[in-house]
A = this chain, B = another copy of it.
Amino acid sequence: MKSSERSAPRIITLTTDFGTKDSFVAEMKGVILSINPQAVIVDVTHEVRPHAIDEGAFVLASAVRYFPKGTIHIAVVDPGVGSCRRGILVKAGDHFFVGPDNGIFSLVLSKSDDFRAFHITNEKFVFDLKSPTFQGRDVFAPVAACFSKGLPCEEFGKEISDLVLFEAPKPEVSGDTISGRVIFIDRFGNVITNMTPECLVGFEGRGTVTVNNVCAEKAECYAMSAEDRLSFLFNSSGNLELFVKSKSAADMYGIRRGDPVVVRIDKG
Protein backbone atom coordinates (compact mmCIF):
# COMPACT_ATOMS: atom_id res chain seq x y z
CA MET A 1 0.00 0.00 0.00
CA LYS A 2 1.43 3.35 -1.00
CA SER A 3 1.32 6.20 1.46
CA SER A 4 -1.14 8.08 -0.73
CA GLU A 5 -3.50 5.14 -0.42
CA ARG A 6 -3.04 4.78 3.30
CA SER A 7 -4.10 8.36 3.95
CA ALA A 8 -7.20 8.15 1.76
CA PRO A 9 -10.43 8.12 3.72
CA ARG A 10 -12.08 4.73 4.05
CA ILE A 11 -15.41 4.35 2.34
CA ILE A 12 -18.28 2.58 4.08
CA THR A 13 -21.39 1.90 2.00
CA LEU A 14 -24.87 1.18 3.36
CA THR A 15 -27.54 -1.05 1.80
CA THR A 16 -30.68 -1.51 3.89
CA ASP A 17 -34.45 -1.79 3.90
CA PHE A 18 -34.72 0.95 6.55
CA GLY A 19 -36.19 3.68 4.34
CA THR A 20 -35.32 7.30 4.98
CA LYS A 21 -38.25 8.59 7.02
CA ASP A 22 -37.12 7.06 10.31
CA SER A 23 -33.90 7.70 12.22
CA PHE A 24 -32.44 4.21 11.65
CA VAL A 25 -29.93 5.19 8.98
CA ALA A 26 -28.86 8.35 10.81
CA GLU A 27 -28.27 6.34 13.98
CA MET A 28 -25.92 4.05 12.06
CA LYS A 29 -24.10 7.00 10.53
CA GLY A 30 -23.74 8.65 13.93
CA VAL A 31 -22.21 5.46 15.33
CA ILE A 32 -19.78 5.15 12.42
CA LEU A 33 -18.62 8.77 12.62
CA SER A 34 -18.28 8.56 16.40
CA ILE A 35 -15.80 5.71 15.96
CA ASN A 36 -14.09 6.88 12.77
CA PRO A 37 -14.62 10.57 12.00
CA GLN A 38 -12.65 10.10 8.76
CA ALA A 39 -15.04 7.51 7.33
CA VAL A 40 -16.74 8.48 4.08
CA ILE A 41 -20.26 7.02 4.13
CA VAL A 42 -22.07 6.35 0.85
CA ASP A 43 -25.69 5.21 0.65
CA VAL A 44 -26.27 2.44 -1.87
CA THR A 45 -29.97 2.32 -1.09
CA HIS A 46 -32.32 2.19 1.87
CA GLU A 47 -35.33 1.43 -0.30
CA VAL A 48 -34.99 -2.34 -0.50
CA ARG A 49 -38.51 -3.73 0.01
CA PRO A 50 -38.87 -4.59 3.70
CA HIS A 51 -37.33 -8.02 4.45
CA ALA A 52 -36.47 -8.72 0.76
CA ILE A 53 -33.02 -10.22 1.22
CA ASP A 54 -32.72 -11.24 -2.44
CA GLU A 55 -33.51 -7.72 -3.62
CA GLY A 56 -30.90 -6.24 -1.29
CA ALA A 57 -28.40 -8.82 -2.52
CA PHE A 58 -29.09 -7.79 -6.12
CA VAL A 59 -28.72 -4.05 -5.60
CA LEU A 60 -25.57 -4.46 -3.52
CA ALA A 61 -23.96 -6.79 -6.06
CA SER A 62 -24.72 -4.28 -8.83
CA ALA A 63 -22.96 -1.47 -7.00
CA VAL A 64 -19.92 -3.13 -5.43
CA ARG A 65 -17.70 -3.39 -8.49
CA TYR A 66 -17.66 0.40 -8.97
CA PHE A 67 -16.24 1.18 -5.54
CA PRO A 68 -12.52 1.43 -4.92
CA LYS A 69 -10.43 -1.29 -3.33
CA GLY A 70 -10.73 -1.37 0.42
CA THR A 71 -14.36 -0.28 0.52
CA ILE A 72 -16.40 -1.73 3.38
CA HIS A 73 -20.02 -2.58 2.53
CA ILE A 74 -22.61 -2.85 5.30
CA ALA A 75 -25.84 -4.54 4.24
CA VAL A 76 -28.78 -4.89 6.61
CA VAL A 77 -31.94 -6.56 5.38
CA ASP A 78 -32.40 -8.58 8.49
CA PRO A 79 -35.74 -10.19 9.33
CA GLY A 80 -33.86 -12.58 11.64
CA VAL A 81 -32.35 -9.86 13.84
CA GLY A 82 -32.18 -10.96 17.47
CA SER A 83 -32.46 -14.66 16.64
CA CYS A 84 -29.49 -17.01 16.53
CA ARG A 85 -28.50 -16.02 13.00
CA ARG A 86 -24.88 -14.91 13.01
CA GLY A 87 -23.30 -11.56 12.23
CA ILE A 88 -20.41 -11.75 9.78
CA LEU A 89 -17.43 -9.87 8.41
CA VAL A 90 -16.31 -11.11 4.99
CA LYS A 91 -13.22 -10.33 2.94
CA ALA A 92 -13.72 -10.96 -0.77
CA GLY A 93 -11.01 -9.75 -3.09
CA ASP A 94 -10.30 -6.16 -2.13
CA HIS A 95 -13.74 -5.49 -0.68
CA PHE A 96 -15.17 -6.13 2.77
CA PHE A 97 -18.72 -6.95 3.83
CA VAL A 98 -20.45 -6.62 7.20
CA GLY A 99 -23.99 -7.78 7.96
CA PRO A 100 -26.22 -10.68 8.93
CA ASP A 101 -25.40 -14.22 7.78
CA ASN A 102 -28.67 -14.63 5.92
CA GLY A 103 -27.64 -14.74 2.28
CA ILE A 104 -27.55 -10.98 1.66
CA PHE A 105 -23.99 -11.33 0.33
CA SER A 106 -24.76 -14.38 -1.83
CA LEU A 107 -24.64 -12.67 -5.20
CA VAL A 108 -21.56 -10.61 -4.56
CA LEU A 109 -19.70 -13.62 -3.12
CA SER A 110 -20.74 -15.82 -6.04
CA LYS A 111 -18.37 -13.71 -8.14
CA SER A 112 -15.45 -14.31 -5.76
CA ASP A 113 -13.65 -17.61 -5.35
CA ASP A 114 -11.38 -16.81 -2.46
CA PHE A 115 -13.46 -15.07 0.17
CA ARG A 116 -12.92 -15.49 3.89
CA ALA A 117 -15.73 -15.07 6.43
CA PHE A 118 -15.56 -14.33 10.16
CA HIS A 119 -18.29 -14.78 12.76
CA ILE A 120 -18.59 -11.54 14.76
CA THR A 121 -18.31 -12.51 18.41
CA ASN A 122 -15.84 -10.07 19.97
CA GLU A 123 -17.92 -7.91 22.30
CA LYS A 124 -15.15 -5.33 22.39
CA PHE A 125 -16.17 -3.87 19.04
CA VAL A 126 -19.95 -3.82 19.38
CA PHE A 127 -22.52 -2.04 21.52
CA ASP A 128 -24.70 -5.08 22.10
CA LEU A 129 -23.91 -8.39 20.44
CA LYS A 130 -27.42 -9.66 21.17
CA SER A 131 -29.30 -6.47 20.27
CA PRO A 132 -32.82 -7.81 19.70
CA THR A 133 -34.07 -5.37 17.05
CA PHE A 134 -31.30 -3.19 15.61
CA GLN A 135 -27.96 -4.87 15.02
CA GLY A 136 -27.34 -2.48 12.13
CA ARG A 137 -26.65 0.15 14.75
CA ASP A 138 -25.48 -2.03 17.63
CA VAL A 139 -23.24 -4.53 15.82
CA PHE A 140 -22.62 -3.89 12.11
CA ALA A 141 -22.00 -0.12 12.19
CA PRO A 142 -19.47 -0.31 15.04
CA VAL A 143 -17.74 -3.37 13.54
CA ALA A 144 -17.40 -1.67 10.14
CA ALA A 145 -16.17 1.56 11.73
CA CYS A 146 -13.61 -0.22 13.94
CA PHE A 147 -12.49 -2.30 10.97
CA SER A 148 -12.10 0.84 8.85
CA LYS A 149 -9.46 2.03 11.28
CA GLY A 150 -7.17 -0.83 10.34
CA LEU A 151 -7.88 -3.86 12.53
CA PRO A 152 -7.38 -7.33 11.06
CA CYS A 153 -10.49 -9.44 10.36
CA GLU A 154 -9.39 -12.05 12.88
CA GLU A 155 -9.93 -9.59 15.74
CA PHE A 156 -13.69 -9.73 15.30
CA GLY A 157 -14.23 -13.48 15.65
CA LYS A 158 -13.37 -16.92 14.33
CA GLU A 159 -13.19 -17.76 10.68
CA ILE A 160 -16.15 -19.82 9.49
CA SER A 161 -16.81 -21.78 6.33
CA ASP A 162 -20.53 -22.51 6.49
CA LEU A 163 -22.04 -19.22 5.41
CA VAL A 164 -25.71 -19.07 4.48
CA LEU A 165 -25.59 -18.60 0.71
CA PHE A 166 -28.51 -18.90 -1.66
CA GLU A 167 -27.96 -19.63 -5.28
CA ALA A 168 -29.44 -17.14 -7.69
CA PRO A 169 -31.89 -18.93 -10.00
CA LYS A 170 -30.05 -19.61 -13.24
CA PRO A 171 -31.62 -19.71 -16.69
CA GLU A 172 -32.39 -23.18 -18.01
CA VAL A 173 -31.24 -24.19 -21.46
CA SER A 174 -33.23 -26.67 -23.53
CA GLY A 175 -32.06 -26.88 -27.12
CA ASP A 176 -32.43 -23.43 -28.62
CA THR A 177 -34.71 -22.25 -25.83
CA ILE A 178 -33.40 -20.49 -22.73
CA SER A 179 -35.82 -19.87 -19.87
CA GLY A 180 -35.00 -17.19 -17.32
CA ARG A 181 -36.76 -14.94 -14.83
CA VAL A 182 -37.44 -11.30 -14.07
CA ILE A 183 -35.22 -10.51 -11.09
CA PHE A 184 -35.77 -6.77 -10.67
CA ILE A 185 -37.94 -3.88 -11.84
CA ASP A 186 -36.03 -0.60 -11.79
CA ARG A 187 -37.29 2.93 -11.15
CA PHE A 188 -38.17 3.44 -14.79
CA GLY A 189 -40.23 0.26 -14.97
CA ASN A 190 -37.46 -1.43 -16.94
CA VAL A 191 -37.49 -5.20 -16.48
CA ILE A 192 -34.17 -6.82 -15.52
CA THR A 193 -33.74 -10.55 -16.17
CA ASN A 194 -31.19 -13.07 -14.92
CA MET A 195 -29.99 -13.70 -18.47
CA THR A 196 -26.54 -12.53 -19.53
CA PRO A 197 -24.61 -12.94 -22.79
CA GLU A 198 -22.76 -15.92 -21.25
CA CYS A 199 -25.96 -17.96 -20.99
CA LEU A 200 -27.19 -16.80 -24.38
CA VAL A 201 -24.30 -17.97 -26.55
CA GLY A 202 -25.29 -17.85 -30.19
CA PHE A 203 -28.15 -15.43 -29.55
CA GLU A 204 -26.70 -12.07 -30.50
CA GLY A 205 -30.15 -10.67 -30.97
CA ARG A 206 -31.27 -13.16 -33.60
CA GLY A 207 -34.35 -14.93 -32.30
CA THR A 208 -37.18 -13.94 -29.99
CA VAL A 209 -37.47 -12.69 -26.43
CA THR A 210 -40.88 -13.28 -24.86
CA VAL A 211 -42.40 -12.32 -21.52
CA ASN A 212 -46.09 -12.73 -20.60
CA ASN A 213 -46.80 -13.79 -24.19
CA VAL A 214 -45.44 -10.51 -25.55
CA CYS A 215 -42.55 -10.62 -27.95
CA ALA A 216 -39.88 -7.95 -27.52
CA GLU A 217 -37.93 -6.26 -30.27
CA LYS A 218 -34.18 -5.81 -30.32
CA ALA A 219 -32.87 -2.27 -29.73
CA GLU A 220 -29.42 -0.70 -29.58
CA CYS A 221 -30.39 1.80 -26.91
CA TYR A 222 -33.52 3.25 -25.29
CA ALA A 223 -33.76 6.20 -27.66
CA MET A 224 -33.43 4.09 -30.80
CA SER A 225 -36.40 1.83 -30.11
CA ALA A 226 -39.96 1.95 -31.42
CA GLU A 227 -42.52 3.97 -29.46
CA ASP A 228 -44.91 2.01 -27.22
CA ARG A 229 -43.19 -1.25 -28.11
CA LEU A 230 -41.66 -3.82 -25.76
CA SER A 231 -37.96 -3.83 -26.61
CA PHE A 232 -34.84 -5.47 -25.26
CA LEU A 233 -31.12 -4.80 -24.92
CA PHE A 234 -28.25 -5.83 -22.69
CA ASN A 235 -28.07 -3.23 -19.94
CA SER A 236 -25.26 -1.53 -18.06
CA SER A 237 -24.87 -4.52 -15.71
CA GLY A 238 -24.76 -6.97 -18.61
CA ASN A 239 -28.27 -8.34 -18.05
CA LEU A 240 -30.94 -8.83 -20.69
CA GLU A 241 -33.40 -6.01 -20.01
CA LEU A 242 -36.88 -5.40 -21.41
CA PHE A 243 -38.19 -1.85 -21.67
CA VAL A 244 -40.54 0.52 -23.44
CA LYS A 245 -39.10 3.80 -24.66
CA SER A 246 -39.74 6.55 -22.10
CA LYS A 247 -42.44 4.45 -20.41
CA SER A 248 -42.75 1.74 -17.78
CA ALA A 249 -42.63 -1.69 -19.42
CA ALA A 250 -43.61 -3.27 -16.11
CA ASP A 251 -46.79 -1.19 -15.88
CA MET A 252 -47.62 -1.40 -19.57
CA TYR A 253 -47.39 -5.19 -19.75
CA GLY A 254 -48.12 -6.11 -16.13
CA ILE A 255 -44.69 -7.65 -15.69
CA ARG A 256 -43.62 -8.55 -12.15
CA ARG A 257 -40.56 -9.88 -10.40
CA GLY A 258 -40.37 -13.66 -10.86
CA ASP A 259 -42.20 -13.72 -14.20
CA PRO A 260 -40.68 -16.15 -16.73
CA VAL A 261 -38.78 -14.79 -19.73
CA VAL A 262 -38.06 -17.04 -22.70
CA VAL A 263 -35.41 -16.58 -25.37
CA ARG A 264 -35.58 -18.67 -28.54
CA ILE A 265 -32.41 -18.54 -30.56
CA ASP A 266 -32.87 -18.42 -34.29
CA LYS A 267 -29.92 -20.30 -35.79
CA GLY A 268 -31.43 -20.39 -39.25
**Which residues of A does B touch, CB under 8 Å?**
8-9, 11, 13, 17-24, 26-31, 33-34, 37, 40-48, 50-51, 59-60, 62-63, 65-68, 71, 79-83, 85, 131-134, 137-138, 184, 186-188, 220-224, 233, 235-236, 241, 245-246
Contacts and interface: CB of A to CB of B under 8 A. Distances in A.
A235 B37 CA distance: 27
19 contacts: A11-B37, A19-B187, A20-B20, A21-B45, A21-B47, A23-B59, A26-B44, A29-B42, A30-B63, A30-B66, A30-B68, A33-B40, A33-B42, A34-B67, A34-B68, A50-B187, A51-B246, A82-B222, A82-B224
A18 B187 contact: yes
Nearest to A28: B66
Contacts of A63: 23, 26-27, 30
A22 B186 contact: yes
A42 B141 CA distance: 15
B26 A132 contact: no
Nearest to A85: B223
Contacts of A80: 222-223
A152 B47 CA distance: 38
Contacts of A187: 17-19, 21-22, 24, 50
Given A9-B37, A220-B132, A223-B81, A236 B30 contact: no
A40 B187 CA distance: 26
Nearest to A48: B21
A131 B233 CA distance: 12
Counting chain B CB atoms within 10 Å of each CB, which of A26, A44, A235 scores highest?
A: A26
A222 B133 CA distance: 7
Contacts of A79: 222-223, 245-246
A11 B33 contact: yes
B133 A34 contact: no
Counting chain B CB atoms within 10 Å of each CB, which of A42, A138, A187, A188 scores highest?
A: A187
Nearest to A128: B236
A48 to B, nearest CB: 8
Nearest to A40: B33
Contacts of A137: 66, 236
A241 B132 CA distance: 12
Contacts of A67: 30, 33-34
A137 B65 CA distance: 12
Contacts of A83: 221, 223-224
